[in-house]
Each structure stands twice: as structure tokens, then as C-alpha cells.
Amino acid sequence: MSTITMTAHYAKLKAGVAVLFLVAIVFYLAYSHIYSSRSPSAAYIPEGVDRLTSGRGMLSEMALEEIPENKLPEADMSTVQHKTSELAGNEIHIDGATGDIYYREAIDQSYIEKEPEGDVLLLHGANFDASTWHQLHTIDQLAKLGYRVVAIDLPGYGKSREVTYSGEAETLLLDVMKELNINRPVVVSPSMSGEYALPLVLHHPYLIRAFVAVAPVGTEAFSDSEYENCQVPTLIVYGDQDTGIGLESLSHLQHLPHHIVEKLVDARHPAYLDQPERWHQILYNFLNAVPK
């Protein structure tokens, strides 16, 4: 083999090795991105999170502020705009769903020209839907406090009852957040909706401002270390009469490093239904404590 031929062969060999090296780097970076986006992020700690009691807080042991009268739902509601079934824009298409997902949305127009408090995403339990939060005045209360509020009917429930979804539960919420431009929401998750909210909060903590867990199901599916690595500020709520899911979920959620617990007296599994005024008061105080 001539020297020229050997040189050309050697050059091709070097080029091939270089290409393989670059391909390996690309695959490594892609894998790292996917893994980090789906795994609990121990490095992500929201600024100001230490303002919350770390691990041992009991709202019932704290002096709770009353909601100002002008911020109660009974006050002037003329500024609160709703998107409901009577208005356009109440349904969105999500990939993997066999039909459109229904949602309710409310925002106080007086906050449009100034910085709003943020977004709240309301989920629901198996016997309820987005209308529950409307009937309970939670949507109106949060809107009066300056939040943009979105409550959705999960697939199989409410006005989404005919819809089935074939994707991952957390992906549904990620797509809803993307379609509705929901930015770092406070996620409120009672009971059944824990199947959707827990993987979202634990796998994507950097996308969540805070978590309000009302006896969610599915807490046993995650390890203590997964909870311990999640830095999302969390309010844990359960009724004193909920000796099943309420206590079981508490046993797992209490491993979250930044949590506060509220046990509602004379309250069942859907504790917010039995103590709506207290429910709104603890929401108000918790949201005031959570950094933006």
C-alpha cells in the first residue's frame, strides 16, 4: 500500500472516530436532559423558600390572618371575569386525548394592569369536577386575592367525562399548562387528582410554585428520597375524620422538606367541603407565605 493511500485511509479513520465521538456527546447530552427533566431535582430550591417552616409547621398552631373583607367573594365581584361553558375558549385539545378538555378560568380585571399574584391550577377528586370549586367559591376567592385561576375537568369527569387519555398523567398537566400559558402555578390537588399532580410536582419541581395536597391518592408510589429531594413548598390538608387516605398520604408527604400541615376539625375526606371558610383562610395565609 502506497504512502498516499495509507495517509488517505488514516484520514478517513480519524474522521470516522471524530464523528462517532460527536454522536456519543449528542446522545449523552440528550439523555442527561431527559433524565434531569423527569427526575426529582435536589438542586432546585426556590428563592425564599426558607420563609416557610421546614418540616414541622402546623398552621393550626400559628396565628392566621383573616382575609380582608374587600377580598372576600361576597365583596364586589363585578371585576371578576369568568370563562365558563357560556363563553368561548373553555375547551382545549391535548394530544393523546380523545376529545377536548374542559376548563373554567377566572381573573380579577383590576389586577390586569398591575402585577398579578400568579397562577393557580385547581384539580379535583373522583366525585367532583371543576364546578365544585365554583360552587364552593374557591375560584372567586382566589381571583379576588389577585390570582389567575384555572380549574380543569380531568379526563373521565365533568364536561370531560367522555374523554379518555392515553398519555402519562403528568404530561397531560404539562400540556394543559402549555396550552393555557399557565406559568409556575400553585397546584391544588385533592384525592384522585394526586395521580396527576404528584408526578408533576416530584418530576418537574422547577415548574411549580407551590403544592396544596388535600389527601391525594398515589403517595405510596414514590420513595422517601424522592419526597426529600423535592423543594416545592407544600401545604398538606386533611380532615380529622379521614383516617384512611388522609393519614396515609400524610405519612408520605411529611417527608417533603418544606411543608406545613393543617388538620381540619369535623371534616371528612373532601375536607374543604366541611370547612370552606377555614379552607379559604389557610389558602390565603399559605399563599402569602410562599415566595413568588
- Residues annotated as catalytic are 191, 242, 269
Q: What are phi and psi of 208, to 5 degrees?
A: -120, 130
d(CA 98, CA 93): 9
Which residues lie closer than 8 Å to 289 by C-beta, 6 or more apart?
51, 52, 233, 260
* Residue whose C-alpha is closest to residue 139's, from 279, 290, 289: 279
**Rg (alpha carbons) of the chain, rounded to whole number:** 23
Which residues lie closer than 8 Å to 146 by C-beta, 6 or more apart?
108, 111, 116, 117
d(CA 142, CA 145): 5
d(CA 106, CA 149): 5
* Residue whose C-alpha is closest to residue 287's, from 235, 250, 218: 235
